[in-house]
Every structure is written in C-alpha cells, then in structure tokens.
Chain A
C-alpha cells in the first residue's frame, strides 16, 4: 500500500516544506463537499493543508471546535448501541426488513492487534477490505456488522484513511451504511439540518466503499442506496431508533467530490512554484501569503463558507472590501443578475447606463429606488 506524502506545494512535489497538514476525515470531506466550486479550497483539500492551523493566532482564526460535552454524549450513545453485542441495533435492523442471520456475526476491527497511528489504520483498512469482499461475494462467513471499519481512498494523489464511526450492515449480499448520531428523534421528528448532515456523511461512506469495491473488481451496487441513521429515541439516550434514508443523491454528490479532490491540473500548472505559507511564519506574513494565493487560485465566497471553511473570515473580509454582492448569499446574486458589486448596484439604481446584461436589473433598481424614496418622503414629517 503506498503512503506517499501529499504535496502541499502547488508545483512539483517538495520533500521538506513546513506547511501544516492534517489527515482527512469524513467530516473534512463533507465540509469540502459544500464548496467544490472554490479552487483555493480544492487545492488545500488535495494538499491536505491544515487551514485551521494556518489561520491560528490571526484575527481570522475560525473559532471552531466541537463542544466536548456534545462529544461525550455521542460516545455514550455509541456505548449504549454496542451493549449486548449490538442486540438492540440488530433487532431494529430486523424490524426494518434487513435480513439478519440467527447468529449475527460482528467483525470487530477495533479489537485487531494493530499498532497505533497510521499503520494501525492500514491494518484495519485491509481487514475492512477483506470483509467487504466477503459481503460482495456472499460468503458464508460474511459479517452482519462491521465495527470500526476503515476505508482507504486515494485523495489528491495520496492514500487517505477514513475511520467509519458509521457501521456497515449486510443482508443478503447488500450492504447498508449506518451512521449513529446522538441528536434525538422525538414525537417522530428530529432536527432536519442535522439529519441532512448525517445523510451527507453516510453518503460519503457509501461512495468510499463503492470506490473500494470497484478497485477490487467487485460490483459497486453491493452498497445499497438506502442507509440508516441511528438516533436516540426520546429525550434520554437509553433507546435507539433507525431512520431509513435514501442516500442516492448524497452518494452521487460524494462521488463527484472524490473526483474533485485531486489537484486541478490547470490550477497547479498556473500556480507552479507557489506554495501555502509554512507553519511558524508570522501571522501577517501568513495572511499575506494566503491572500496572494487566493488571488491567484481564485475563490468563491458564499456565506455558507462560514460554516464549513477555515478560511471564511479572510474570504468574507476580502469579499466585503471588494463590495461583492455575493456576501449576501446566492439568492441576492441571482436576483441582481448581471450586477456584481454594491457600488455598481447603487450606480445603476441612480440611473447609470447599464450594459447589455445589466439592463433588466437596472430597470428594476431605478424603479425600486424611486419608489423607496417616495415612500420615505411620504412618511416624513
């Protein structure tokens, strides 16, 4: 299994840059899926550049980090699920029509004797691969659940290991992705945003497993489009409930992201010789370097970036200073079609000559301005 270091430099590979990097996790990939239209972010993803670290100590520091108490809740729920050899979970799967053998076989990959760190992941990834092969071939000893699966994928020209906290359940040669989350389902309802995010993660696992099966010349359809989100039932953590979800949209989206997570050849060529700033350089220098790279690579700031990208505060400031309408969100850009900036919008509203593609917006803007002023005048003393 090759383990070549990812190239954080945008030109030819460099052995000794000091660019901070992080390992790819499913949540990093899921976050990246939200802005595949940004070249800068794609380059950072492909090079595994740790943007959070690069912005650390600057005034653009993202201020992220999960709530430790929420993490504790998640862990406790997982422990509850694992109780009695996943008895409750297996029962629920059975109720949902997933055929479970009388003797469910659980592949416990976390218990494998493996060294810590990357080589441990490699061992688990290989074990996962073998279990997947058994499922796809409907072997008599195929597992019902894989606990602690690790999926290997090639991202940005290097191997990445994804530790699935989601589990895989097999039934009749079909594999369903399971994603356990600790937000509850109450009165038949749960937080739709969190459910959407859980489905996106499950979709990524499904896409990764499919890619793995294809690599092994096995049918990708082994991974079912329908996955399960496991949630606590009611306000306490004690009982679980399964939500069957159609993941086909999320799987397609994830597959596209995996394709995109390779450095864009054209961008790499264009930016040959440039690199992300190294760790340890001064804050001002780092920001200047990042800004410069953003100028050259190109960005596509949208307000949603604030939720997903560590570079968002810098990008927002740059977009604000440039007076881009995009800082309001996609809808504003769509409504004022052909108009890029606040300054131009105000000029057009005041009656400036529009270009061909600004004509419709200009008409509406002048009218809106006139009516607005009249309304204010009418309300005046």
Chain B
C-alpha cells in the first residue's frame, strides 16, 4: 500500500485517477458527473489534493468505486489533466494502468466557441460534436477550429 492509498482509502473495485494537477480534482468530478446522484447512484468517490509529486509538482488523486465508467468517458480526464494516469482496480489489485488520452470525438462535452454555431442555438437543441486533433479542436458542424485555451465545458464551466 502506498502513502496515497493510506490517506484516501483503499478500494476493492474501481478506478484511481492519479497525477491530477493540484486544484483540478473537482473539475474532473464534475466532468465525469460523479457528483450527480441520478447518474451514479450508490457510487463512492474519495479525493485528495496537494500531495507532493515528482511528475506534476503538487497533485490530486481521485478514487471511484462502485460505478462503471466507459473508457471513452474516463479519457475525458485528459481534457483537464493531460498528465493524469488511470489505474483500473479489480479485487484490490491494479488490473490495468494507462495515461488518459483525449478522445478523437467529443460528443456533448465541449462547447463550440463560435456563438453563431447551430450547437449554440438553444432552441435547436443540437448536441455539440467536436473533433480533437494534434494541436486544435474542430467543430463538426461549423468547422471552427480552436485551441485548448478556448475550451468551455457544456454547462459553462
């Protein structure tokens, strides 16, 4: 058992998201909707922030138990924490460990920054669809290209 596990608790089955830059743990909780009781009834998440890390300076850790997250959803973590590592835990052991990678297609996650885009017309209720490229993101509908700095998550965060 590592120090981190001692601090925020051992889990039997679930995922551990490590190396989250300090201050961004809650952003990930919200991005994955872990605090939405309707979606993740019965799930438990525990988090800690401010640990020393050689990789990212100070870091946060998030542990999620009792909910099943799809790989595509977990990968969204990379949008706010590129350096994050994901460990899948099964029966108390690490089953798989990988780096979060931004999914190629983001459906209904990120807003298109073009205010005249059909996806920003609330009356139309068209879900955003954004492609992630090497340096830029691109809206499927209006083809606006934009950098990381313009990312706005749906719901305005």
Are the chains A and B members of one assembly? Answer: no
